[in-house]
Structure 1
Amino acid sequence: MWDENVYCCVDIETTGIDPSMGDRIIEIAIIPIYKGKIVKEWIYTSLVNPKVNIQAYAQSVHKISNSDIENAPELDEIISVVRKYSKDTIMVFHNAKFDLTFLDYAAKEVGQLPLDVYYIDTLDISKAVYGRRRKLESLAQEMKISHKVTHRAYDDAFVTANVFIRFFDMLGWEVIHEFLKRWMGREY
């Protein structure tokens, strides 16, 4: 049985894997779930202009070019949106530390404090259920989720939302909430 919380599944795409080396966010999607259903009217998705060039390799992975992000919202606007969505909700990620670290770098870059959010990581749930960390693609295949992981924020957040719904239905509220953590610039 689902509780009264809104769960916001988040995915970002980036120029690389290391924000300390200058990699930045280039796309974000937030897919809210309420009582086991995706709330389409509340979905947020946007390209992001990080004011750095997207290298050729990242362009080939995400199919996002420098011209695509030229007129996109900048990091300060994106961080403000994330803060609004995280207020009184539980964020859900697949590999939360990656996304949250990038979001913290973005906040710092625009002169803001790190995020303070409650979150659940489907990667942690997969380790508890299967005895090892599972990739989002393999979870989607096993759970017969027809939507594909494409390394685009909306698609991957949508798959994460469906994986989370399946885990919640399988394990129930009490077990799912054992995975609840708090992030305040780092995990607590």
Structure 2
Amino acid sequence: MAFEPFIHFMRGLQGKISSNGMGGMQGQNSHHIAFLRQLQKELNLETQMKVPLHELNVVVFDIETTGFFPDKGDEIISIGAVKVTNGNINKEDIFYSLAHCEKDLSKELVHLTGITNDQLKTAPPLSEVLVNFFNFAKNNTLIAHHANHEKSFLQNACWKLYRSPFKHRIVDTSFLYRIAEPDLRLVSLEEICEHNGIPIKDRHHALGDAKLTAELWCKYIAKVQAIGCNTLTDVYERLARL
């Protein structure tokens, strides 16, 4: 089933079911689960491994969270993403959403992200946000900076909300700069962007950080291809030798 018709079908059913209280919530989640299972059938992870990096269609994304430990109750509060097609950033093809959170953020986190508690109280539920994000990403490879953070939260959320495993491949930008510049000891997104002459804009905003990471991805696919690392298969094989 195609993605867009499925989303419209699912939303129509949600409207019919939502009046049934808890039963409505269970019905809504059942359609989310059906969507994710359909999406997972469309994933072709092995094919993605063989596509030249500059031709690989990817979705570069970032999340903002209340902390670092999803298994201890920390939550996703926003997701931002941008598509990169044939090595070019599609600045208009973007995704951004806040996600509902009942817990009050600390003053420090409000200051860091610019997200307010009032905004989160009226934001859509994470179950809906993730379905919309996955519909945006479809079967494209996901890219993130220090991707373990994103992966752990998405794995936790997919299982908690849908009882479904998270099956997308996430490629960490560090894979590329470890190959291209093995002596590089920079860690933060700011440091690596500055190292590559990328202006820092909208830091600690999920979409802003996704755009910065997309700039890094484009820089480093050129660098690793220049030394003969042309596909994700090459990337993983080269990493194994480091």
Instruction: Give the TM-score range, shorter chain.
Output: 0.7 to 0.9
TM-score where L is the length of structure 2? 0.67
Question: Structure 2 CA distance, aligned partners of 1:35 and 1:25?
Answer: 30
1:19 deviates by: 1.1
When residues 4 and 98 of structure 1 are mapped into structure 2, their CA distance, relative to the original with a 3 A threshold, is same
1:147 deviates by: 3.6
Q: Out of 204, 208, 212, which is 1:151 matched to?
A: 204
When residues 82 and 133 of structure 1 are mapped into structure 2, their CA distance, relative to the original with a 3 A threshold, is farther
Match of 2:135 in 1: 84
Matched position secondary structure for 2:157? helix
Unaligned runs of 5+ in 2: 1-51, 237-242
Q: Return 29-38 or 55-64, whichever deviates more.
A: 55-64
Question: Structure 2 CA distance, aligned partners of 1:163 and 1:134?
Answer: 13
CA deviation profile, 1:94-146 (whole Å, cap 9, x unmatched): 01110111112222232331210122101232333233463211111011112
Match of 1:33 in 2: 84
Match of 1:135 in 2: 188
Instruction: Indicate yes or no: 2:150 matched with 1:99.
Output: yes
Match of 2:172 in 1: 121
- Tell me if the contact between 2:158 and 2:165 (Cα under 8 Å) persists in the aligned partners: yes
CA deviation profile, 1:128-185 (whole Å, cap 9, x unmatched): 32334632111110111124361110110000000000001122284451346xxxxx
Unaligned runs of 5+ in 1: 181-188
Q: Which has the higher helix share?
A: 2
1:39 deviates by: 1.5
Question: Structure 2 CA distance, aligned partners of 1:111 and 1:117?
Answer: 15
Q: RMSD value over aligned CA atoms? A: 2.3
Aligned length: 181
Instruction: Indicate yes or no: 2:201 matched with 1:170.
Output: no
Match of 1:49 in 2: 100
The structure with more radius of gyration = 2
The correspondence of residues 14-25 of structure 1 with structure 2, limited to 5 A, is 14-25=65-76
- Alignment identity in percent? 26
Question: Structure 2 CA distance, aligned partners of 1:179 and 1:46?
Answer: 31
1:83 deviates by: 2.5
